[in-house]
Amino acid sequence: MADTIDTRGSLRRLWDWFWGPTAVLSVGFTLVAGFLAGILFWGGFHWTLEMTNSEAFCVSCHTMETNLGEYRETIHYNNHSGVRAVCADCHVPKEWQHKVKAKIIAVKDVYHELRGSIATPELYEERRLQMAALVWKKMKANDSRECRNCHNFEYMDFTIQETRAASEHQRAIDTGMTCIDCHQGIAHNLPAGYLEEYERVVKSLQKPSASTETNAVKAYLADKTQ
Ligand code: HEC
Ligand code: HEC
Ligand code: HEC
Ligand code: HEC
């Protein structure tokens, strides 16, 4: 019995301390106010992240038909199941720590936009291979993480895939190859010389060049170039 009263007493004191005036404001008030401010800040922050993920936002700069037009002809824009992958689904990470980093790096694009680096279709074509290589490098390094937000080898029914797809996917699982190793150009046109450039990207990633994976990629690319 005494125990209960004691507990109640100390809870009471804790309650008073929490809500009572300390120097200026009560601890409780400060925490609650801080919490609310945090939600407002976080909401605004989150809204900014969401807004800058929309197709309309990307296309506000990537207006040229080159980019949007090509992608609109692909299965990720229109397909029988009605699931669309928009620009950010493939280009911006979902996990927030990676997402925030990507957004910060993307600030450089504002500078390039102001300089007009890809302002005309001609300039775009000049830079396309270089830009594509940047994307490949990221996808190769993160094991095509963004593709895997929607696709997963484990959920693929190889028995209903066409034979070539099923056997290549088995090969990919066995050798550790990643989506982008074989699926370049799924959303945009590929410039001339892309396979050589892709090979350079793979080499630049400094994996042991004799690794099973690197050998598998080399063999696959060699097959393609024939
Ligand atoms: C402020 C204008 C602007 C906005 C908004 C913008 N971009 Fe860009 N983006 C550029 C410019 C300019 C380049 C060319 C940079 C260069 O020349 O290196 C570029 C390059 C790229 C590249 C090539 C690879 C790289 O990292 O440079 C990709 C991919 C890309 N943008 C995707 C996106 C996506 C997806 C969005 C929306 C989430 C987006 N961009 C929003 C201006 C913009
Ligand atoms: C937002 C989800 C999403 C993301 C991200 C995504 N995909 Fe897809 N992908 C789809 C859907 C949906 C389809 C169409 C499925 C259908 O209806 O047949 C598809 C179809 C495909 C196809 C079949 C093409 C064809 O012609 O039949 C390939 C290959 C593919 N995706 C590869 C990729 C790769 C590689 C990436 C990463 C660069 C990627 N996808 C990212 C959702 C996504
Ligand atoms: C070793 C090469 C290779 C790798 C790695 C690879 N694919 Fe494929 N994939 C193919 C080939 C070849 C096809 C059949 C032709 C085509 O659609 O390009 C195919 C077909 C597909 C299809 C269409 C299947 C169908 O039956 O409609 C999807 C979706 C797909 N791949 C997604 C992926 C994703 C996602 C990854 C990574 C998790 C991946 N692939 C990795 C070679 C590969
Ligand atoms: C299904 C995934 C997917 C979607 C959706 C997608 N991209 Fe890409 N994007 C890629 C891949 C993969 C590359 C690397 C080059 C290649 O293989 O075509 C790339 C390359 C690029 C590049 C580099 C230059 C080039 O042409 O290769 C730019 C810029 C770009 N994307 C912008 C966009 C914008 C803007 C959108 C939306 C209108 C978009 N992407 C939608 C997968 C995607």
**CATH number for the domain that contains residue 189:** 1.10.3820.10
Is residue 90 situated within a structural domain?
Answer: yes
Q: What is the pLDDT of residues 191-210, one digit of tens each?
A: 999 999 999 999 898 776 67
Q: Which atom of ligand 4 is nearest to the CA of 118?
A: 29
Domain of 159, in residue numbers? 25-225
Taking residues 166-176, report their average pLDDT: 95
Is residue 41 situated within a structural domain?
Answer: yes
30 CA from centroid of ligand 3 (Å)? 55
Lookup: tokens for 101: 């980093």
Q: Domains in the chain: how many in total? A: 1
Is residue 164 situated within a structural domain?
Answer: yes
∠ CA 152-217-220, nearest 5°, is 95
Is residue 15 situated within a structural domain?
Answer: no
Q: Phi first, then psi: what are they for 76, rounded to 5°?
A: -75, -10
Lookup: tokens for 165: 């797809």
Confidence class for position 66, pLDDT limits 50, 70, 90: confident
Is residue 123 situated within a structural domain?
Answer: yes
CA distances to 109, 112, 121 from 100, rounded to whole Å, are: 15, 20, 30
Is residue 3 situated within a structural domain?
Answer: no
Is residue 17 situated within a structural domain?
Answer: no
74 CA from centroid of ligand 2 (Å)? 9
Lookup: tokens for 108: 């450089």
Of all ligands present, the nearest one to the C-alpha of 146 is 2
156 CA from centroid of ligand 1 (Å)? 32
What is the SS3 assignment for 222?
Answer: helix
Q: Which pLDDT belongs to residue 22?
A: 59
Is residue 7 situated within a structural domain?
Answer: no
Q: What is the pLDDT of residues 100-112, one digit of tens each?
A: 889 888 888 888 8
Chain center to CA of 42:
20
Of all ligands present, the nearest one to the C-alpha of 102 is 1
